[in-house]
Amino acid sequence: MSERLIPNGFCWCGCGREVGLGKFFAVGHDKTAEAAFLAIHHDGTVAQMLHAHGYGPDNEHSVTKAAVDKGLWLECPRGCGYRGARESINNHVNRYHREK
């Protein structure tokens, strides 16, 4: 299990802005921090980050399959291969597999 993080009232991107109760980032600053992290550690690309952690384009090393295998994500119950968080699965089924 991951360490429980506690927001401290300031944006975690390092900009120094105060943020609301229970928040880690000012609006949009999570993406700024993510982009900076990728630039520092993975040449600015998600592909390099995935590769560094052993994931790749084949199903055997799929990051989305790993999320399903860990019980964090689900697969589409209609068997189309789509994977995502529960809400994403619900939206996907309603959009693409709705009974007509």
Give the model's pLDDT for residue 2.
86
Residue by residue, DSSP assigns 60-80 as: GG-HHHHHHHTTSSEE-TTSS
Question: Which pair of tokens denotes residue 15?
Answer: 């900009």
Kindly give, in sequence order, each residue whose CB lies less than 8 Å from that of residue 85, ignoring residues fewer than 6 positions away.
Answer: 72, 73, 74
Average pLDDT of adjacent 10-residue blocks, the chain of 100 residues = 93 98 97 98 97 93 96 97 97 90
Q: What is the DSSP letter of 2?
A: P
Give the whole-angstrom CA distance, residue 54 versus residue 12: 27
Give the model's pLDDT for residue 100.
60
